[in-house]
A and B are shown apart, each in its own frame.
Chain A
Amino acid sequence: MSDIALEVDDIKTYIYSNRRCNKAIDGVSFSIRRGKTLCIVGESGCGKSITASSIMQLLPALSRIEGGSITYHSDAGEIRIDKLPRNGARMRAIRGSEIAMIFQDPMTALNPVYTVGFQIAENLKYHTKMTARAIRDRCVALLRHMGIPLPEQRVREYPHSLSGGMRQRAMIAMAMACNPKILIADEPTTALDVTIQAQIFELMNRLKAEHGTAILLITHDMGVVAELADDVAVMYMGKIVEAGTVDDILRRPRHPYTRALLSSIPVLGRGKNQSIRPIRGSTPDPYNRPPGCQFAPRCDFATEACQRMPDETFVAPTHRVLCWNHDRVAASG
């Protein structure tokens, strides 16, 4: 059995509205390894959430995967997810049991009119043949495993009586109910406080170690990346501009955008004299994109060549970058 849980190869997902086409993802490739965490980093609108919904086949109605492939390496063999009908029986069997997802805002992702226990049990009812009693016990066990105090009581409560951190734990319990092979977490802690965020991270690391779950974590925070990631992919305007191991990206960034992201935020413990450099301008309109490299208009290293889309270059076996001038970036120290 290979080490890779999910392989995404050159997928293109376009969203259509008002006769216009937003190339939300335009040729993205990565693979998620078993028992490892891949972080996708990027700003809002760069296509990171659409990447997650493409894998889950939860895209908005007027959108389509136009090319490329998503291959899920299940125990029973390879499955081409992009070829499955969105709401077909096989996709429904995979979604929730083999590949599960945690959403950003636990308040809107949980249904306010059902108890927490009911919502966790739903997954088990659908995907397993367990008895009602076994399901009830499993729900309590899951909540206890997530570190929720008094789980016997909490399963009967509604989402509104749980705090933000507990709701997010309930969401993770829901996602973990069927022991998925792949867990997709879309900004799971953005709505939470730092001390609660630390609790959730510890939980995710434990799940990864205990169950060998492959995790795809979507975030905009480089701090989270340093904390959790094994592999990193940096996205900008629908493309992965740089990808590699966490060491490659944080210690030897080769793309100007990665560098700019790293130096645009103050880092705790570096005091007042650190230099932060804002990135000039703002992200371009997706319907009116620059011709070549999408970052060129904001880039300090831009040259004539950047009017054309650069080719992907491997600067190390694990480290690829999408930039014409990556040598100059590296030389600039």
Chain B
Amino acid sequence: MTGSPPVADPILTLRDVKTHFPVRKGVFKTTAGHVKAVDGVDLDVFRGEVLGLVGESGCGKTTLGKSILQLVRPTAGQITFHDGAGDDVDLQDLTNADLVPYRKKLQIVFQDPYSSLNPAFTIFGSLEDPLIKYGVRPRAERRRIVGDLLEAVNLRRDHMDHYPHEFSGGQRQRIGIARALAIEPDLIVCDEPVSALDVSVQAQVLQLLMELKAERGLTYIFITHDLSVTEYLCDRIAVMYLGRIVELADADDLYANTLHPYTQALLSAIPVADLDKKTDRIVLQGDVPSPVNPPSGCPFHPRCRFATELCKDKVPPLRPFGRNGHLAACHRVEEVMAAGIHSDRAADG
């Protein structure tokens, strides 16, 4: 699970991706504004890495995941898929029909294992669909592949003739993973794959995901709100706030050397099951602002302890700090670094 990601072999490049949803009001359904769910994201995903996408609810992390897969078409920007053989494709320009071969490369595991499996289909019925779509014709062949998949996710071969209601949450999530694996994708977007599961089962699913990654050379985009899971699993972590990436760094670097005040607050807010590790909590005031009408300048400034006039006026760009490709979008990184997460009390006087 350790080891840095391979150098400069991107599988996916995002440039200024925006996904806005219109808000319609009144009798004539005139557009009253836009929910800026994703508002200008630049991101490189490297082959073979686990990229964590973290943030609170409503920060646009799921929408970004879906935009990458073109399940939601982005409003602007460029999402380029590199197949590794020198063929680069801008996914957002393709028609649905042209997308079909690329859908085979990009798959998703959904959050809620209870609503993502059709209750009227047997497990075989759900899992054979992608195989039919991508041309595995003989039924016996499909049954063999589905059986192999179920075994790969630690279920029994004969489970394929059962219905979803016969399975527990953890088992269903493993079926969801098997479905994503069915057509041998390169990249899987895992959208909160364990948050609906009981704690004792979460670890089973996390371990399975990591084993499959090692076996099949997968790349994951791991969307979650749980920073302790990302720390354990991910090579790099992107922290999102109101549709933008505010900090992006190697997992170790993000925790050891936090640069953005929002990340600091987020990290300090997590209850830690360790009596010896009590961080001084930074309690943020107020709620996340509405993405329809985000604050001017830096979206975090109304809740930020370090905010100045500059932060109200100007959106801070994502700039590099230090060596390891640590990026942060904040005007006042130097002051934040000086304050630090642990010397918080001193900073507040």
Would you give 14 A-B contacts (Cβ < 8 Å), ordered by A?
Answer: A198-B284, A223-B271, A225-B273, A228-B271, A250-B273, A265-B203, A265-B228, A266-B231, A267-B228, A267-B274, A267-B277, A269-B272, A276-B206, A282-B170
CB-CB nearest in chain A for B287: A163
CB-CB nearest in chain A for B57: A193
The answer on a CB contact under 8 Å between B272 and A268 is yes
Q: Which of B23-31, B184-192, B194-202 lies at the interface?
A: B194-202
Bound CA span A149–B277, Å: 32
The answer on a CB contact under 8 Å between A268 and B228 is yes
The answer on a CB contact under 8 Å between B252 and A272 is yes
CB-CB nearest in chain B for A250: B275
Mask, B115-152, CB within 8 Å of A = 1, is 00000000000000000000000000000000000000
Judge if B232 is at the interface, Cβ distance under 8 Å: yes
Given A165-B287, A202-B283, A271-B202 contact (CB < 8 Å):
no
Judge if A178 is at the interface, Cβ distance under 8 Å: no
The answer on a CB contact under 8 Å between A278 and B200 is yes
Judge if B204 is at the interface, Cβ distance under 8 Å: yes
For A197, A201, A247, A282, the residue with the greatest tally of chain B CB atoms inside 10 Å of its CB is A282
The answer on a CB contact under 8 Å between A278 and B203 is yes
Given A43-B200, A166-B287, A272-B251, A278-B207 contact (CB < 8 Å):
yes
Q: How close is B48's CB to chain A, nearest CB, in angstroms? A: 16
Bound CA span A250–B275, Å: 7
Bound CA span A246–B198, Å: 22
Report chain A residues within 8 Å CB of B206. Answer: 276, 278
Judge if A279 is at the interface, Cβ distance under 8 Å: yes
Judge if A59 is at the interface, Cβ distance under 8 Å: no
Report which A residues bind B (CB closer than 8 A).
Answer: 43-44, 149, 163, 165-166, 193-199, 201-202, 220-228, 246-247, 250-251, 260-262, 264-274, 276-280, 282-283
Residue in A194, A202, A264, A269 whose beta carbon sits within 8 Å of that of B277 in the complex = A269
Report chain A residues within 8 Å CB of B265. Answer: 195
B residues 267-325 with Cβ under 8 Å of A? 267-275, 277, 281, 283-284, 286-288
Judge if B343 is at the interface, Cβ distance under 8 Å: no
CB-CB nearest in chain A for B206: A276
Q: How close is A298's CB to chain B, nearest CB, in angstroms? A: 8
Given A193-B225, A269-B255, A264-B231 contact (CB < 8 Å):
no
Count, chain B residues at interface, CB 8 A: 44
Main secondary structure of the interface of B (DSSP, over half): helix
Across the A-B interface, give the 10 residue pairs with the lowest CB-CB distance, nearest first. A223-B271, A266-B232, A278-B203, A222-B273, A198-B269, A193-B56, A279-B200, A268-B228, A278-B204, A227-B271
Report chain A residues within 8 Å CB of B271. Answer: 197, 201, 221, 223-224, 226-228
Report chain B residues within 8 Å CB of A265. Answer: 199, 202-203, 228, 273
B residues 228-285 with Cβ under 8 Å of A? 228-229, 231-233, 251-252, 255, 265-275, 277, 281, 283-284
**What 9 additional pairs, Cβ within 8 angstroms, besides A194-B225, A280-B204?**
A165-B287, A194-B266, A197-B271, A261-B199, A264-B199, A266-B233, A268-B270, A276-B207, A278-B200
Q: How close is A277's CB to chain B, nearest CB, in angstroms? A: 7
Report chain B residues within 8 Å CB of A271. Answer: 231-232, 252, 255
Bound CA span A276–B233, Å: 11
For A193, A195, A251, A261, the residue with the greatest tally of chain B CB atoms inside 10 Å of its CB is A195
Judge if B2 is at the interface, Cβ distance under 8 Å: yes
Q: How close is A296's CB to chain B, nearest CB, in angstroms? A: 15
Bound CA span A271–B253, Å: 10
Bound CA span A224–B275, Å: 11
CB-CB nearest in chain A for B201: A282
Judge if B214 is at the interface, Cβ distance under 8 Å: no
Residue in B171, B203, B288 whose beta carbon sits within 8 Å of that of A276 in the complex = B203
CB-CB nearest in chain A for B234: A272
Judge if B100 is at the interface, Cβ distance under 8 Å: no
For A197, A199, A268, A272, the residue with the greatest tally of chain B CB atoms inside 10 Å of its CB is A268
The answer on a CB contact under 8 Å between B269 and A197 is yes
Bound CA span A269–B227, Å: 10
Residue in B199, B228, B275 whose beta carbon sits within 8 Å of that of A247 in the complex = B275
The answer on a CB contact under 8 Å between A246 and B275 is yes
Judge if B168 is at the interface, Cβ distance under 8 Å: yes
Judge if B212 is at the interface, Cβ distance under 8 Å: no
Bound CA span A269–B289, Å: 29
Residue in B272, B281, B286 whose beta carbon sits within 8 Å of that of A226 in the complex = B272
The answer on a CB contact under 8 Å between A220 and B273 is no
B residues 1-46 with Cβ under 8 Å of A? 1-2
Residue in A149, A223, A251, A264 whose beta carbon sits within 8 Å of that of B200 in the complex = A264
For B56, B198, B267, B281, the residue with the greatest tally of chain A CB atoms inside 10 Å of its CB is B198
The answer on a CB contact under 8 Å between A262 and B273 is yes
Q: How close is A172's CB to chain B, nearest CB, in angstroms? A: 16
Report chain B residues within 8 Å CB of A166. Answer: 287
Report chain B residues within 8 Å CB of A267. Answer: 228, 272-274, 277
The answer on a CB contact under 8 Å between B232 and A223 is no
The answer on a CB contact under 8 Å between B229 and A266 is yes
Q: How close is B55's CB to chain A, nearest CB, in angstroms? A: 9
Bound CA span A282–B170, Å: 8
The answer on a CB contact under 8 Å between A198 and B281 is yes
Report chain B residues within 8 Å CB of A251. Answer: 275
CB-CB nearest in chain B for A236: B200
Report chain A residues within 8 Å CB of B1. Answer: 272
Report chain B residues within 8 Å CB of A202. Answer: 281, 283
The answer on a CB contact under 8 Å between A274 and B232 is yes
Given A266-B232, A271-B231, A282-B201, A198-B283 contact (CB < 8 Å):
yes
Report chain B residues within 8 Å CB of A43. Answer: 198-200
Q: How close is A238's CB to chain B, nearest CB, in angstroms? A: 16
Given A220-B199, A278-B204, A195-B170 contact (CB < 8 Å):
no
Report chain A residues within 8 Å CB of B171. Answer: 282
